Amino acid sequence: MNKLLLCTDMDRTVIPNGRQPEHPDARPRFRQLCALEGLRLVYVTGRHRQLVQEAIASWQLPQPDYAITDVGTKIYHLVQGEWREMLPWQKQIASDWRGKSHDELQQALQFCPELVLQERSRQNDFKLSYYLPLSANRKKIFTAVENQLTQLGVDASLIWSIDEPEQIGLLDVLPRHATKLHAIEFLQHHLGYEHHEVIFAGDSGNDLPVLVSPIQSVLVASAEPEVRQQAQSESQNNGCAHALYLAGDNFPLGGNYAAGVLQGVLFFAPQMGAQVKLS
């Protein structure tokens, strides 16, 4: 593989902010990997742009070439330190909401008291985000929300994940074609990469659309068991088990966080991994 589009989630994937330990060499090796000629780095995250920039500085992460933020609803190209939003992506996903505004969707979902609107900084034109208690009847609420959005004429995706440190559920209402998976596919085609030249790494529920797709994907060992089980089951059902790699502990740096990403790169792109002596 002479070129690689490495797409990775941030929190609890390359950022070690989970409960599992991080090997001290993991992030330095990750920075070394991302400096290789032929590798383009893409952060794929639920964070908005400012929080991405803060994380890069706080955790000494390499600067990306692109950033897919806000759970797939925005894409930025970094050019000489300037973050340039890719407006064609915004235009493409807008059609799913059929001209309905963020406020109109929010008003339509006020029937459900368990849904607590997240902070303004976590919202955008095509991302409506809520907190939902882990004790809530998720299946019943999701069905009701989907029915309400269908009546409104909106074509939406409901993306569920868990904020492990805060022990609270996170529900993102997105345009149907604005998930992390669709954003990666848009960028892949825009940049001219083949499937075998793309690797994704993630750990949580909002990464599942990619983890169970034909895109070569790595689930880091620091992922929660529920996500691990769901990724294995759904990738098998989708006929994509061959494209999913489960990072484990049988690796010099372990499989948590950035070490799991490195492990997956060594599996899918051994010649890249060999350049930073990952084996």
Q: Which domains does the chain have, with CATH numbers?
A: 4-90+178-275 (3.40.50.1000), 97-175 (3.90.1070.10)
Burial class (CB in 10 A: 0-12, 13-18, 19+), 82: exposed
CA pair distance 199, 204, nearest whole angstrom: 16
List Cβ neighbours of 37 (8 Å cut-off, separation of 6 or more): none
Highest mean pLDDT: which of 6-10, 164-168, 179-183? 6-10
CA pair distance 201, 258, nearest whole angstrom: 9
**Arithmetic mean of pLDDT, 190-206:** 95
Place of tokens 């690797």: 199
| Residue 36 pLDDT > 70 | yes
Cβ 206 vs Cβ 215: under 8 Å:
no
Q: What is the pLDDT of residue 1?
A: 57
| Residue 275 pLDDT > 90 | no
* Cα 205–Cα 209–Cα 213 angle in degrees, nearest 5: 135
pLDDT category at 201 given cuts 50, 70, 90 is: very high
CA pair distance 138, 188, nearest whole angstrom: 33
pLDDT category at 164 given cuts 50, 70, 90 is: confident
| Residue 272 pLDDT > 90 | no
Q: What is the pLDDT of residue 165?
A: 81
| Residue 279 pLDDT > 60 | no
Which token pair is 27?
Answer: 């992030």
**Arithmetic mean of pLDDT, 77-105:** 94
Q: What is the DSSP code string of 41-80?
A: EEEE-SS-HHHHHHHHHHTTPPPPSEEEEGGGTEEEEEET
Comparing 23-27, 104-108, 198-202, 204-208, which segment has the lowest mean pLDDT?
A: 204-208
Which token pair is 203?
Answer: 């750990």
| Residue 100 pLDDT > 90 | yes
pLDDT category at 32 given cuts 50, 70, 90 is: very high
Q: How is residue 147 annotated by DSSP?
A: H
Q: What is the pLDDT of residue 274?
A: 78
Q: How far is CA 173 from CA 109, 145, 182, in A?
A: 10, 9, 15
pLDDT category at 27 given cuts 50, 70, 90 is: very high
Its pTM stands at 0.90
Longest dimension (CA), the chain: 55
Q: What is the pLDDT of residue 206?
A: 87
| Residue 146 pLDDT > 90 | yes
Q: Which amino acid, 67?
A: A
| Residue 84 pLDDT > 70 | yes
| Residue 248 pLDDT > 60 | yes
| φ/ψ bin of 60: left (φ > 0), alpha (ψ from -120 to 50), beta (otherwise) | left
Q: What is the pLDDT of residue 163?
A: 86
**Arithmetic mean of pLDDT, 26-51:** 96
Q: Tell me the per-residue pLDDT of 212-229, one tens digit each, with 9 for 90 and over.
A: 999 999 999 999 999 999
| Residue 257 pLDDT > 90 | yes
Q: What is the pLDDT of residue 278?
A: 64
Q: What is the pLDDT of residue 253?
A: 95
